A and B are shown apart, each in its own frame.
Chain A
Amino acid sequence: MKRIKNKTIPIILICGAFIAFMPILWMISTSLKDSNSIFSFPLKIIPDPVHWENYSTIWKSMPLVQYFKNSILITGLTIIGTVFSSALVAYGFSILEWKNRDKVFIFIIFTMMIPLQVIMVPVFVIFKQLGWLNTFKPLIVPAFLGGGAFNIFLFRQFFLNIPREIIDAAKMDGLSHFQIFKEIALPISKPVIATISILTFMFTWNDFMGPLIYLSDQIKGTLALGIMMFVGQHQTEWGELMAVSILMMLPMLIVFFVFQKYFIRGLMIGGSKS
């Protein structure tokens, strides 16, 4: 491609990046202001003086420690369930050979297209009849049962690339399929495990509708739910709202920057092959 040799493109890109980053910058700035300087004009980006109070008051304004614990517990168990069950199922769809295997797998991919709303009401009724409302079970247990078609797909792609000779040699040494799964398939698929863990983390940490439907007891709420309730009650306390939003964002930002490679690869595979 012939490159445009002038300075317009870099300038457009830098201005655009500034616009994209501005809300985050402004958010940090607002979280460090007291309520007087939030409303004072002209607005300053760098707070002067810096007020850290918002970060201490939010712990008193809501049961934030409890929300963090709940979110971490739900997200952690969901990741474990998703990784383990999608790996197991993918093994059954890749290393094991059986009739019509690939046709059944295409069917699984098709089930991804059914909108969640269609099954939402009956699934709610199931959990209600099980007496699981207001517990974490409706949010965690489904992850252990299949782990989602997309994740099965990711694992399967990886398992299909394991050379057949390795599997055959392992069988000759007397390893069962469970041992091959545990000793060979899982250890070499660390990159896929990383990708799936990160995508699941992002999704579960941010999930709003699930907790909204199943957790009505305030003390059982997740961070997302807690912030939502805080918005309803303290709509004008922008400094505190921004501070708590930043606290919720922080783990995501850290995971994103540390595992950027895996994160982006997962999105790319999802976007180009699904």
Chain B
Amino acid sequence: MPKRFLIFIFLSPWIIGFATFGIYPFMMSLYYSFCQYDVLQIPMFIGLENYKNILTKDPYFWISIKNTAYYTFFRVPLNIIGSLLLAILLNQTVKGIRILRTIYFLPSIISGVVLSVIWMWIFNPQIGLLNIILGFFGLDGPLWLQDPQWSKPALIIMSLWSIGGGRMLVFLAALQNIPKHLYEAFEMDGGNIYQRFFHITLPMISPVIFLWSIIEVIASMQVFTEAFIMTKGGPLDSTLFYNLYLYNKAFEDFNMGYASALAWILLAITLCVTLAQFHLSKRYVYYEGQK
């Protein structure tokens, strides 16, 4: 058997998959974004019309952008800091640490529909766990998912339940990989615990934090399931996130051209934000072997 043919056979699943579910849809999506297309009739080319309408005539586009930006802006730092603090705490030698780690990890394996159902009920204003606990301290809890002011904070609080998952474990491993002699040298110079954290611990684990902040930002910008199940975008469009709006345009209105244009705008925003993060990282991320 000729070698080329052999290589082709081994790679064939990927080649076929990439052609049908990668390159082809990628190009078609760009084409649809310049068309009016409802799936039933053939796509009709309308040039930049979709993009023009989105950017100038569509209030929901801007609402969804604002909601998604708000959500991302708070969810990402809170989740990263939360996981980091937890990793630092779990890095101590405490009895039963393995059981504690498992308990903290457990919520992160619950996702999607089940996660949404649990939290719909925790946020229930009358019988929900949260307001019962707040009531116990004499506080009058808000309506959470039914209040436009509190719906986004509620979804952010919910995301914090899984700070003990994979991200925290990676932070923990990074903490444990910091060479002991760095700390010893620092102690000889008489630095205190805060200086030690900001001068040794943080720089040493900054590459992992950077990587996870990129993953988190992309995940936050694509938030969908929670909002779809728990709030349907409401109340008063306060949880109409970008992806939810895109889904509605595509699979409720069957306005596929418009939805494709929305998707390409999302791709452009994602690229810009990621590039900005890389740019910022040059100043804040420390890589061993450089400088």
Contacts and interface: CB of A to CB of B under 8 A. Distances in A.
Interface string A122-150: 11111010000000000000101111000
Interface stretch (B56-64, B112-120, B282-290): B112-120
B222 A115 contact: yes
A58 interface: no
Interface in B137-196: 161, 164-167, 169-170, 173-174, 180, 183, 187, 193
A126 to B, nearest CB: 7
Contact of A128 (B39, B91, B94, B264): B39
Contacts of A10: 94-95
Given A12-B89, A108-B14, A248-B113, A118 B266 contact: yes
A271 interface: yes
A264 B169 contact: yes
A146 to B, nearest CB: 4
A177 B9 CA distance: 11
B22 A111 contact: yes
A89 B14 contact: yes
Given A38-B127, A272-B173, A146 B13 contact: yes
Contact of A98 (B7, B100, B114, B169): B7
Interface string A19-52: 0111110110010000000110001000000000
B2 interface: no
A228 B224 CA distance: 14
A224 B228 CA distance: 13
B270 interface: yes
B11 interface: yes
B263 A121 contact: yes
Given A121-B259, A227-B114, A17 B103 contact: yes
B28 A122 contact: yes
Nearest to B124: A238
B229 interface: yes
A227 B230 CA distance: 12
A163 B81 CA distance: 42
B54 interface: no
A20 B103 contact: yes
A268 B24 CA distance: 33
Contact of B20 (A96, A126, A242): A126
Contacts of A212: 228
Interface in A88-119: 88-89, 91-93, 96, 98, 108, 111, 113-119
Interface residues of A, number: 85
A96 B187 CA distance: 51
A18 B22 CA distance: 45
Nearest to A96: B7
A121 B164 contact: no
B17 to A, nearest CB: 3
A22 B103 CA distance: 10
Contacts of B264: 118
B288 to A, nearest CB: 14
A241 interface: yes
Interface stretch (B44-52, B67-75, B243-251): B243-251
A202 B170 contact: no
A20 B106 contact: yes
Find the residue from A30, A38, A91, A208 having the highest chain B CB count within 10 A: A208
B104 A17 contact: yes
A122 B21 CA distance: 9
B166 A267 contact: yes
B106 A21 contact: yes
A224 B112 contact: yes
B14 A85 contact: yes
A144 B132 CA distance: 48
Interface of B: 1, 3, 6-7, 10-11, 13-14, 16-18, 20-22, 24-26, 28-29, 32, 39, 86, 89-95, 100, 102-107, 109-114, 116-122, 127, 129, 132, 161, 164-167, 169-170, 173-174, 180, 183, 187, 193, 208, 211-212, 218, 222, 224-225, 228-229, 243, 246-247, 250-251, 256, 259-260, 262-264, 266-267, 270, 274
CB-based closest 10 A-B pairs? A145-B17, A92-B10, A122-B25, A271-B170, A146-B17, A267-B166, A119-B25, A122-B28, A85-B13, A146-B14
